[in-house]
Structure 1
Amino acid sequence: MKTGSNAIFATFDPYPSYKGSAIHIEKVTELMASKFPKTLVVSLKKHTDKPLAPGLQHLEFEMEESNYLKRAQAYSAWLDDILEKEHQLEVGHFRDVWSGIPILKRPHITSIFEVNGLPSIELPSRYPYIGESTIEKIKVLEDECLHKCQLIICPSETIKKHLIKRKVLAEKIHVVSNGADIPAPLNKPVGLPDEYLVYFGALQPWQGVDVLLKAMQYLQDKPELKLVICSSHKPKFARPFIKLAEKLSVNDQILWKYQLHKDELHEVIQHAMCTVAPLTECSRNLEQGCSPLKIFESMACKTPIVASDLPVVREILAADKEAKLCRPGRPADLARCIRLLADYPDLRNELSKNAFAKIISNYTWDHINSTLSAIYDNIFKLVF
């Protein structure tokens, strides 16, 4: 089927979905639709029926395949078939190498690689038994995309530094941070504890949810303080963590929620004593970098933040002024920071007030989109 689109946004990710990345995809595709009235979005099969922005067409890759690499290769071939019919495309914005390879085969498409993560770094954390030879082959694909694409967008200086180490031209890398909208005040949901901290997002190893569960052991003298975990995954992905909580004897301190819609999630965040971003000290967070949406959403909800003291976090938040930062991978230190906020309400208020002021000044989606909009306005002048 030929769509007649003049721009394409491609992602090897389900969209729309409950993942934090879906918020970023929504903002970028809305902007693309405003610049290119016939924008085509291609993605994995959606997880939710949330409508897309007006002007967007959507094609979903629906193949069911449990093997990650087989699914990635099949998706790439599927996208290649689509592009064979779309000769009028001017711009191709892609978020991964599996989308990038077929787009970069068409030199008439001005290519933008949005680098949020690299599979050579992320896959060993998700699949510990993946072979080194496979990783080396993936690196070759990454290098092809990084060097052949005409522009790169990434959400943090940490990622930019990593790409420069891989001999990517600094001039073609544009740092465009993540952000958040400011939600309206919402009522506290029925059934939540009187006092709780919240973790929300995905459950990959680098997120540090296991560290947070271990930290709860050090807070057992505060039985009124509960932990609410809002997972963006289906319940089955929480099973290892539920078993760990039982082993640690903290399962009665934890309440699980799954795949909440945005307003439901904001209700939980707004009434939390604090949110926690216990990112681990691993290559995914240190070498590659990230830009945690959970931090921006917490800032926008005026909720105090406890986060791991990592360069990607310090790019956003000032320690002891806008957040409490703890040593990554140290449950006792994480518990110490949580205890400080539990015991000192004035400190909580000061941190959340300062963090909210920063997001208003720098990180609303209006600010972020103005930067991205300028890139798109000059896209044909900026290419290398």
Structure 2
Amino acid sequence: MLLSLGSNQGNSLENLQNAVDQLFLELGSVKQISPVYKTKSWGFEGADFLNCVILIQTRLESAAVIDLILTIEKELGRVRSTQGYTDRLIDIDILFYGDKILYTEKLEVPHPRLHQRNFVLYPLNDIATTFEHPVLKKEIRELLKETTDQLIPEKITESLKNPNSAYNLSAQNYIAIEGNIGAGKTTLASMISEDFNAKLILERFKDNPFLPKFYEDQARYAFPLEMSFLADRYQQLLDDIGQYDLFKDFMIGDYDCFKSLIFAKITLTEEEYNLYKKLHGIMYREIARPDLYIYLYQNPERLLENIKKRGRSYEQDISENYLLKINKGYLNMIKNSSPGKVKIIDISELDFVKNRADYLSILNQIK
């Protein structure tokens, strides 16, 4: 989503920075910020404006976005006028919501007049020059060449800070997020990957033919299931970790190779486990280990709720006792890990999918 920000009252640069910071806290990850331009007031006589455009990634629907933006403007001191164009402390306009075309009572996207305004087109061209206007079917650079607006913005030397950079997750080359069944590790890893340009490594096991059978008869299918996971995880990690992506800042996965030992310890007999552990050691000897290992702790009650919600038929009979054993296995492994390399985050009272504040609190603990 591309937003235009403007201010011509008070400390305009500070107003823009406050808006960027608040949009990050409440709306989503700030992917790019254009240079800041100074422009004569457009459509009325007033003080010069400072303007910029930001690219922001949000998981909210458009109706929720416009309501949130109006709230943020009000929190930052804007008083809306019914008298047309006026001075303002802050102005936040939605230019594009991806390639969607929206016409509602509150919102028209793409912004109907953006192609007529240099104070929008100049910063927009800096960060989205080849983006195609979904209605006009022209790239931003073409719209800039064709505009009839005679007011030429002046790029200033000061710039805005991206609040994303405060988290600096790329300081770690490889982060693994682990947790019990239903803890939300895949969801969190996916969200971080999207927000911070990380290569995503997800465990592929949904089509494992032994998994449904295991939940029906654990004694019979435990060993073939664990051997299947052992081979699959090894091959995947060998492929994914070994192939660095030059366009990604770091790697993040929703599992670690030692997960296999934790589950095998619970499900296998002593003789089977000893054999399994020996094979595990041979196979994973050369596999790169995470620089940081995150364990998401949730209480068994929440785990059972999450398992029920996601609706996998073969998981519905998982017992609380089985989940407690898995938690214990993880905690035992963590006790024997290098200090500072493992972080336990209790998410039992958090909802990081629906509540961005909860998500950011987790990021703060990770960084």
Q: TM-score, normalised by structure 2?
A: 0.30
Structure with greater Cα Rg: 2
Q: TM-score, normalised by structure 1?
A: 0.29
